[in-house]
Amino acid sequence: MHRALKDFGFEQLPFKRFAQNAAFYYTMRVAFFLCEAFKEDVCSGIVDLDAYATTFLRKVTDMAAKMVRHGGKITLKVTQATWDLLGFAHLWERSGAPPKFAWK
């Protein structure tokens, strides 16, 4: 977990004062948690759950895409290779339907 957080963020904090660095660090922790939750809930079949953040970002978010507005609709265009490699239809469906919480 510690190595994954270091891979996600920075080892050296950018500000000189403690309060700003603390806010930056906790924001980075929340972003890391959201990235891990997205990886587990949406991308579980595409990326290994124990993959580092750079592997996840390279496979899922670093792709060529184009947003096009036509006829009052906004369309995301990706190449056929990206569509097939990521299983983009399944990924898009799972991202639009969040998992249900199970209360005990």
Same domain, 67 and 56: no
pLDDT of residue 13: 85
Taking CA 16 as the corner, what is the angle to CA 15 and CA 21, rounded to the nearest 5 degrees? Answer: 50
Gap between the Cα atoms of 50 and 58, Å rounded: 15
Domain-embedded: residue 74: yes
User: What is the pTM assigned to this prediction?
Assistant: 0.74
Q: How far is CA 78 from the centre of its chain?
A: 17
Same domain, 24 and 42: yes
The range of the structural domain enclosing residue 81 comes to 63-98
Same domain, 75 and 54: no
- pLDDT tens string 49-80: 888 888 888 888 888 889 999 999 999 898 99
Give the residue from 86, 32, 30, 96 showing the smallest Cα distance to 58: 86
Same domain, 28 and 41: yes
Stretch among 37-41, 75-79, 95-99 having the lowest mean pLDDT: 95-99
Gap between the Cα atoms of 79 and 58, Å rounded: 16
Same domain, 57 and 80: no
Same domain, 27 and 41: yes
